[in-house]
Amino acid sequence: MIKDNLASVQARINKVNHTQVVTLIAVSKTKSASDVQQAIDAGQRHFGENYLQEALDKIAALENAKVCWHFIGPIQSNKTKQIAQNFDWVHSVDRLKIAKRLNDQRPDNKGKLNVLLQVNIDNEPTKSGVLPEEVDEVVTQIKSLDKLSLKGFMCIPNPDHSRISFTKMAEIGKKYPCLDALSMGMSHDLELAVQNGATFVRVGSDIFGQRD
């Protein structure tokens, strides 16, 4: 079933995508290592996790699998060390302080940590991320951190108007031609995100089923 779900999500992406390379991230938060293993067996390589402790358990359980782990959840300062040690990508860098800590704590033997700057695209007080008008300054500062490789941007728009927000995010992204990764789109809005230039979509429930 996970295998069929992956195929149908991939087909939805392919149906609307005629331009960019889109990487599907299977968001496995709250799901078991054996669910992740089923997805791996079906050929899935990129996984997204929100909660550090359960992610570390799965990473350990699947240590021999050739997969790429993406941290996509809110980051507290006291979690940065283990994130820097165990993940390949971090999508949810939402302030300079977190970027600096990840940079300082990235192990030397691991190569640069790929990061995306999370943008609070709708200026919502309850959401994480830098405001659109702060992007320029924070990009410059993160670029100076030598253990991080800044690749682009991530956003979680207000679902009431995600089309407008995805367009806005894409417009900001275009100002930085070297930062060409855009992480946006989830189960309910992945088509809109892809049509607006997403290069990563993060899909959980449409692959693994509803979360408890």
Ligand X SMILES: *Cc1c(COP(=O)(O)O)cnc(C)c1O
Least Å distance between CB 115 and ligand X? 15
Contact 27, 48 (CB under 8 A): yes
Residues 136-195 that bind ligand X (CB under 6 A): 156, 186-187
Q: Does 129 bind ligand X (CB under 6 A)?
A: no
Q: Does 205 bind ligand X (CB under 6 A)?
A: yes
User: Which two structure tokens, joined as six digits, stand for 2?
Assistant: 């996970």
Q: Which of 50, 114, 120, 165 binds ligand X (CB under 6 A)?
A: 50
Q: Does 39 bind ligand X (CB under 6 A)?
A: no
Contact 101, 80 (CB under 8 A): yes
From the list 7-15, 141-149, 160-168, 198-206, the region that binds ligand X by CB under 6 A is 198-206
Task: Specify the residue, 32 or 187, whose C-beta has the smaller distance to ligand X.
Answer: 187
Question: Residues in the site for ligand X, rule: CB under 6 A?
Answer: 27, 29, 50, 72-73, 156, 186-187, 202-206
